[in-house]
Structure 1
Amino acid sequence: MDHEPDAVDAIQAEWRRERPELDVSPQGVIGRLHRVAARLTDELTTVYDRHGLAEGDFDVLATLRRAGAPFERTPGELAGHTMITTGGMSKRIDRLERAGLVTRRASETDGRGRVVALTERGRAAIDAAFTDHMANERRLVDELDAHDAAELERILTLWLGRLGA
């Protein structure tokens, strides 16, 4: 073992004792990945909170900002680019609209469609939040040396591709 024993090691030891016929080694990867993801979510949402944004708010505003000028997308496009369901998207857009961060208007190409756009206030909010978000992600990734970070990115990219994500 090339690390200090942790909670995952303890869980695996208990399962090895209780179910010695099973290979519990996958828990070493999955269990730690799950714990890292939960810690990262906590670290990321702390920055969003400082900007008055929930994780989904940040996602929507960032997706609009990445679209480039005029910083707009349909609700369906927003749902496709985020982890938010179509039903959840409508509520999220309502809240962002009430906060003055986005506007909604009829589509010029689809009579029944709607378009969501960043307001100037929304663009300023996501630009400030994204700047802090990138500094936070840099701080988190810098817990690894550059080689390990690049190797982890390579492995995760490969794994996601194989899982069909």
Structure 2
Amino acid sequence: MFFLKELPSQQMVGTYAETYGTDPAHITSALLMMRRASLLIRRLDAYFAAHGLSQLRFLVLIVIDREPERQSLTPNEIASRIDVSKPVMTRTLQSLQQNGLISLAASQTDKRSKEAALTAAGRQQLQDALPGYFRILSEEMAHPPAAGD
């Protein structure tokens, strides 16, 4: 998260940029991008919470769903597609299973491994969340916030 509500003045950025040999326009653009991304993440977090999800839980569901030729993935395959530690992934998968959104079953090819698949409830929860998710992303790109927002 980027916590600055008020970005540094152009004068301050210019002074630092000159001191450290960087382009002030690049620094300002990066700061604006970080601020905008932070606001978007907060908006998405609130949206997911209203749908009984978190960003991570949503990402796990969508990663499993986006494999059209497969109905399930191993926890390691899911973890390799999402930037979290294995312990966090394990807890998230257990939570999704406890909530009935995924099933964890022994792999057909490797009995030592498990595979995660969406349940009907998980597929429905994902389908319920996707329209608003895409609406938020679309709105963000169509109406970017002003620099001071």
TM-score, structure 2 normalization: 0.82
Q: 1:22 — aligned with what? A: 20
Judging changes above 3 Å, is the alpha-carbon distance between structure 1 residues 47 and 71 closer, same or farther for their aligned structure 2 residues? Answer: farther
Q: 2:112 — aligned with what? A: 112
RMSD: 2.2
Count of residues in correspondence between the two structures: 138
SS in 2 for 1:100: coil
Instruction: Answer whether contact 1:79 1:86 (CA < 8 A) is retained.
Output: yes
Unaligned runs of 5+ in 2: 145-149
Structure 1 or 2: larger helix share?
1
SS in 1 for 2:117: strand
Q: Following the alignment from structure 1 to structure 2, what is the Cα–Cα distance between the partners of residues 66 and 134?
A: 15
- Write the deviation string for residues 64-108 of structure 1: whole angstroms up to 9, x where unpaired: 111236531110111112222222110000110111101101111
Instruction: Answer whether contact 1:105 1:114 (CA < 8 A) is retained.
Output: yes
SS in 2 for 1:124: helix
Q: Following the alignment from structure 1 to structure 2, what is the Cα–Cα distance between the partners of residues 138 and 100?
A: 30
Instruction: Answer whether contact 2:13 2:28 (CA < 8 A) is retained.
Output: no
In the TM superposition, 1:154-165 aligns within 5 A as: none
Aligned AA (1:139): E
Aligned AA (2:52): G
Q: Following the alignment from structure 1 to structure 2, what is the Cα–Cα distance between the partners of residues 69 and 100?
A: 23
Aligned-pair CA distance for 1:113: 0.8
Q: 1:102 — aligned with what? A: 102
Q: 1:36 — aligned with what? A: 36
Aligned-pair CA distance for 1:9: 4.6
Q: 2:7 — aligned with what? A: 8
Judging changes above 3 Å, is the alpha-carbon distance between structure 1 residues 15 and 139 closer, same or farther for their aligned structure 2 residues? Answer: closer
Aligned AA (1:132): G
Question: Larger RCO: Structure 1 or Structure 2 (Cα < 8 Å, ≥ 6 residues apart)?
Answer: 2
Aligned AA (2:97): E
Instruction: Answer whether contact 1:106 1:114 (CA < 8 A) is retained.
Output: yes
SS in 2 for 1:35: helix
